């Protein structure tokens, strides 16, 4: 029997994806996925729709969420310097009140951040981005940088959303604003309260040195963190190998997820990543 095709990271229009959860499910099915998780940013409201669609298509469904965390290395290790890190919660109970309250709290900060992003872009000579970004945000509570990026493409300030992030919206560029998300202990508490397991999303994407990333992994592990994404649409082949080693070193389980956002915005289709290295313990090893 071929190994199960497991894809545990994807987004719908409930956050910054381009497709409704039902259509993401259809893409996952078309990509040969057997076990699929939807992991919208700071939001769980599409999980019911996603589960129904997944089960109707004959896939196993995993309830997920991707939580935005602000983390800073200790003084002496280049800190304090805030970095946004994404922590995925898998097998969560989407009705858990601690989780719901926490996520609502983070979402409420997004509007204020969006206003500051728009103000900054206005000063840089690009007016009207708040209204422009809002057009792309189906969930009004989840206005994200991706929605600004789509508007910047629309008005010709970037040729792709990838380029929009490269020239705007990231540290040191117009439209970047520092923002306080959840703390790591908060996010871990919400996930564990909801019965889930915490997974570091795309660890190769953060602007942290190796010692800083090691500090983060140690803290994550101390707080009960169980896994890291080894195979993700954000990693290069070299990074697959590197984070497989990290997983072995720290004793983390390994996860696999495309981080699919929709046609034209994702390098990897659902289900299309290479399998995990055979010696790693998959995060799903005792789920079925
Ligand atoms: Zn992410
Ligand atoms: Zn994601």
Per-residue tokens: 12: 């719908």
The average pLDDT across 53-58 equals 98
Q: What integer pLDDT is reported at residue 55 of this predicted model?
A: 98
Residue 241 CB partners (closer than 8 Å, separation 6+): none
Categorize the per-residue pLDDT at 3 as very low, low, confident or very high, splitting at 50, 70 and 90. confident
Instruction: Provide, rounded to the nearest whole percent, the portion of the chain with pLDDT above 90.
Output: 95
Spans of all domains in the chain: 6-105+182-257
The average pLDDT across 2-19 equals 95
Categorize the per-residue pLDDT at 56 as very low, low, confident or very high, splitting at 50, 70 and 90. very high
**CA–CA distances in Å: residue 18 to residues 148, 184, 231, 239, 248:** 13, 28, 22, 27, 35
Q: How far is the CA of 26 from the centre of ligand 2 (A)?
A: 18
Categorize the per-residue pLDDT at 6 as very low, low, confident or very high, splitting at 50, 70 and 90. very high
DSSP letter for 167, please. H
C-beta separation of 69 from 85 below 8 A: yes
Q: How far is the CA of 67 from the centre of ligand 1 (A)?
A: 8
Q: How far is the CA of 145 from the centre of ligand 2 (A)?
A: 13
pLDDT at 243 over 80: yes
Q: How far is the CA of 198 from the centre of ligand 2 (A)?
A: 14
Q: What integer pLDDT is reported at residue 1 of this predicted model?
A: 64
Q: How far is the CA of 11 from the centre of ligand 1 (A)?
A: 10
Q: How far is the CA of 40 from the centre of ligand 2 (A)?
A: 7
pTM for the whole thing? Answer: 0.95
Q: How far is the CA of 66 from the centre of ligand 1 (A)?
A: 7
Q: How far is the CA of 1 from the centre of ligand 1 (A)?
A: 32
Superfamily in which the 6-105+182-257 domain is placed by CATH: Metal-dependent hydrolases (3.20.20.140)
Categorize the per-residue pLDDT at 79 as very low, low, confident or very high, splitting at 50, 70 and 90. confident
Residue 84 CA: which ligand is closest?
Answer: 1
The average pLDDT across 236-246 equals 98
Residue 261 CA: which ligand is closest?
Answer: 2
Q: What integer pLDDT is reported at residue 103 of this predicted model?
A: 97
Categorize the per-residue pLDDT at 110 as very low, low, confident or very high, splitting at 50, 70 and 90. very high
């Amino acid at each position: 029997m071929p190994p199960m095709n497991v894809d545990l990271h994807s987004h719908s229009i409930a956050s910054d994806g381009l497709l409704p959860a039902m259509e993401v499910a259809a893409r996952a099915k078309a990509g040969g996925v057997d076990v699929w998780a939807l992991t919208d940013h700071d939001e769980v409201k599409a999980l019911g729709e996603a589960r129904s669609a997944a089960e109707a298509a004959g896939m196993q469904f995993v309830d997920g969420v991707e939580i935005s965390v602000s983390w800073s290395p200790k003084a002496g290790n280049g800190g304090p310097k805030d970095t946004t890190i994404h922590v995925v919660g898998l097998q969560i109970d989407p009705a858990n009140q601690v989780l719901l309250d926490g996520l609502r709290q983070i979402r409420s900060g997004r509007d204020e951040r969006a206003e500051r992003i728009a103000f900054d872009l206005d000063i840089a000579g690009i007016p009207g981005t708040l209204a422009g970004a809002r057009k792309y945000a189906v969930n009004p509570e989840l206005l994200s940088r991706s929605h600004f990026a789509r508007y910047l493409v629309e008005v010709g300030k970037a040729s792709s959303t990838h380029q929009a992030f490269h020239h705007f919206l990231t540290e040191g560029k117009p439209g970047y604003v520092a923002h306080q998300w959840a703390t790591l202990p908060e996010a871990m508490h919400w996930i564990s309260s909801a019965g889930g397991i915490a997974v570091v999303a795309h660890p190769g994407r953060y602007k942290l040195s190796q010692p800083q990333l090691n500090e983060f992994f140690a803290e994550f592990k101390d707080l009960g963190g169980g896994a890291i994404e080894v195979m993700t649409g954000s990693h290069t082949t070299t990074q697959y190998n590197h984070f497989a080693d990290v997983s072995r070193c720290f004793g983390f389980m390994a996860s696999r997820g495309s981080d699919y956002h929709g046609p034209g915005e994702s390098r990897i289709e659902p289900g299309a990543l290479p399998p995990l290295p055979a010696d790693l313990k998959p995060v799903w090893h005792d789920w079925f």
